[in-house]
Amino acid sequence: MTFRDLHLVEPILEALAEQGYENPTPIQEQSIPMLLRGKDLLGCAQTGTGKTAAFALPILQNIFLDLERNSRNRKIKALIVTPTRELAIQIDESFTAYSKYTNIRNTVIFGGVKQGKQTQALKRGVDVLIATPGRLLDLINQGFISLRDIDYFVLDEADQMLDMGFIHDIRRLLTYLPDNRQSLFFSATMPPSIVKLSDKILGEPEKVTIKPEQATAERVEQAIFFVKKRDKTKLLIHLINTEDANTSLVFSRTKHGADKIVKLLRRNDIMAEAIHGNKSQNARQRALGNFKEGRTKVLVATDIAARGIDVSKLSLVINYDLPNIPETYVHRIGRTGRARESGVAYSFCDMSELDFLRDIQKLIKQTIPVVQDHPYMDDGSGDDYEPDRRPRNNKWQNRRNKNNNNRGGGNGRSGGRRR
Ligand code: AMP
């Protein structure tokens, strides 16, 4: 299957060729024909699957054909709402790239920066608006944005929206949208609260599910390092120095933790920067730019800040802390091995994180191989724990044994890459 088989117009095909896309990804193959026919879509898929192009290309094509008929119709026709600034910027960049050979205009608005440049762009007239919820409602209330002419509405990363407490903003936003529109709803997970929200937004949608394990977990080489909490930084430095990864993205559960890791890495002469919600938008963009350009080797991120990080040559993801929400693990490892490339994801697991590991393995339906004999291996004999806090029933040893017995070929490594 090629993009030409999907009946996309010439200017879009040309832009895709320039991007180096040869074939559509599964979500693109399935969604584009339905969306070109005007169907609503419920997409269970996450970043890394080619989701952005799956919705952007049909929207652009429809607007392109519309503008050919009526070139003076410069009103906002498509609205894409997404939870984070990084993701919004990235979607905007994708629209810019895919619409390069059309006269379609897109712009992006998000909070945390002055609104002047954003309102100027809106005044010049745009066809496609990409927005985070807070700034969007703000500019609607100030009269800079009208959603009266919206033909296409995309709610992206819906589960993350709810996690971030945007539900009231979304409900308010829906009251501004015309009923007669095509709606697309994407979420990596589909718990009942999300299904309920999607019912409010969609008519009778077509459904496309790209399973996380299909999308990432299968493609990414994963490994667990059992390590004491206090040895995690040493292990991180060891891996960064011994792996042949050009760029590594390290995940920390907390902002404070991220800053601490960066400090320790720098003390060991490793170029590192942190990206999290306490940093200004400019600082985050700068850090991301430095990382993409290869000026920093290691980017340490919290989960929310990492949404939308798209670094094409990202070779290694390290989970310094295991996430307590298993879906987050899939999001994290999806940062590497994007769009069919293979990647590597290492996870550190200390005694307190065993339950998180169990939940993750249940979700991805895989037992993640354990790296044996790395220099900071925690053999469970630990002097790390107060006697009365030692795991009952030797849970630690049991869990470790279970992982070791089901290694699926990933045994015997000492932290070196097996490629
Ligand atoms: P997304 O899931 O939209 O964040 O896309 C993940 C990455 O895959 C981005 O870097 C896209 O530029 C890239 N990508 C999307 N579609 C294709 C395709 N058909 N062929 C190659 N790369 C793609």
Q: What is the pLDDT of residues 84-97, one digit of tens each?
A: 998 999 999 999 99
Check pocket membership of 52 for ligand 1, CB cut-off 6 A: yes
Q: Look at ligand 1, atom 21, and give the residue with the nearest C-alpha.
A: 21
- Per-residue pLDDT, averaged over 10-30, amounts to 92
Chosen CATH of 214-406 out of 3.40.50.170, 3.50.50.60, 3.40.50.300, 3.40.50.620: 3.40.50.300
Same fold, 4-210 and 214-406: yes
Question: Does pLDDT of 392 surpass 50?
Answer: no
Give the span between the Cα atoms of 390 and 380, in whole angstroms: 10
Q: Look at ligand 1, atom 18, and give the residue with the nearest C-alpha.
A: 21
Give the span between the Cα atoms of 264 and 259, in whole angstroms: 9
Query: Can you read off the two tokens belonging to residue 4?
Result: 């030409």
Give the span between the Cα atoms of 298 and 275, in whole angstroms: 11
Check pocket membership of 307 for ligand 1, CB cut-off 6 A: no
pTM recorded for the entire structure: 0.62
Give the span between the Cα atoms of 130 and 106, in whole angstroms: 8
Query: Can you read off the two tokens belonging to residue 254?
Result: 């907390």
Q: Look at ligand 1, atom 8, and give the residue with the nearest C-alpha.
A: 339
- State the pLDDT at residue 387: 39
Q: How far is the CA of 341 from the centre of ligand 1 (A)?
A: 10
Which position has the token pair 């709606």?
Answer: 183
**Beta carbons of 341 and 369 less than 8 angstroms apart:** no
Q: How far is the CA of 361 from the centre of ligand 1 (A)?
A: 26
Specify the DSSP class assigned to residue 180: S
Q: Look at ligand 1, atom 15, and give the residue with the nearest C-alpha.
A: 50
Angular region, 109: left φ>0, alpha ψ -120 to 50, beta rest: beta
Give the span between the Cα atoms of 313 and 294, in whole angstroms: 10
Q: Which atom of ligand 1 is nearest to the CA of 25?
A: 19
Q: Which atom of ligand 1 is nearest to the CA of 90?
A: 4
Check pocket membership of 82 for ligand 1, CB cut-off 6 A: no
* Phi and psi angles of residue 217, each rounded to the nearest 5 degrees, phi first: -55, -35
Angstrom CA distances, 12 to 55, 90, 98, 224, 289, stand at 13, 18, 6, 42, 27
Give the span between the Cα atoms of 133 and 110, in whole angstroms: 8
How many other C-beta atoms are found inside a 10 Å radius of the C-beta of residue 356?
Answer: 21
Q: Look at ligand 1, atom 11, and give the residue with the nearest C-alpha.
A: 50
Q: How far is the CA of 338 from the centre of ligand 1 (A)?
A: 7
pLDDT tens digit string along 215-258?
556 678 899 999 999 999 999 999 999 887 778 999 998 899 99
DSSP element (H, E) containing 300: strand 298-301
Angstrom CA distances, 252 to 276, 305, 330, stand at 10, 11, 15
Q: Kindly tell me the burial class for residue 372, based on how many C-beta atoms sit within 10 Å of its own C-beta (0-12, 13-18, 19 or more).
A: middle
Domain ranges of the chain: 4-210, 214-406
Q: How far is the CA of 24 from the centre of ligand 1 (A)?
A: 9
**Which residues are registered as beta bridge partners of 121?**
none
Question: Does pLDDT of 419 surpass 50?
Answer: no
Which amino acid appears at position 142 of this protein? Answer: Q
Highest mean pLDDT among 84-88, 133-137, 208-212, 325-329: 133-137
Q: Which residue has the higher pLDDT, 170 or 396?
A: 170
Q: How far is the CA of 48 from the centre of ligand 1 (A)?
A: 7
Check pocket membership of 175 for ligand 1, CB cut-off 6 A: no
Q: Look at ligand 1, atom 20, and give the residue with the nearest C-alpha.
A: 21
Q: Which atom of ligand 1 is nearest to the CA of 312?
A: 10
Quick one: how far is CA 191 from the chain centroid? 18
- Per-residue pLDDT, averaged over 198-217, amounts to 79
pLDDT confidence tier of residue 366, bands split at 50, 70 and 90: confident
**Domain 4-210 is found in CATH 3.30.830.10:** no
Q: How far is the CA of 51 from the centre of ligand 1 (A)?
A: 7
Tell me what percent of the residues of the chain surpass a pLDDT of 70. 85
Question: Does pLDDT of 115 surpass 70?
Answer: yes
Angstrom CA distances, 47 to 68, 77, 210, stand at 32, 24, 11
Check pocket membership of 216 for ligand 1, CB cut-off 6 A: no
Please give the mean pLDDT across all residues of the chain: 86
Q: Which atom of ligand 1 is nearest to the CA of 23?
A: 19
pLDDT tens digit string along 135-188?
999 999 999 999 999 999 999 999 999 988 999 999 999 999 999 999 999 998
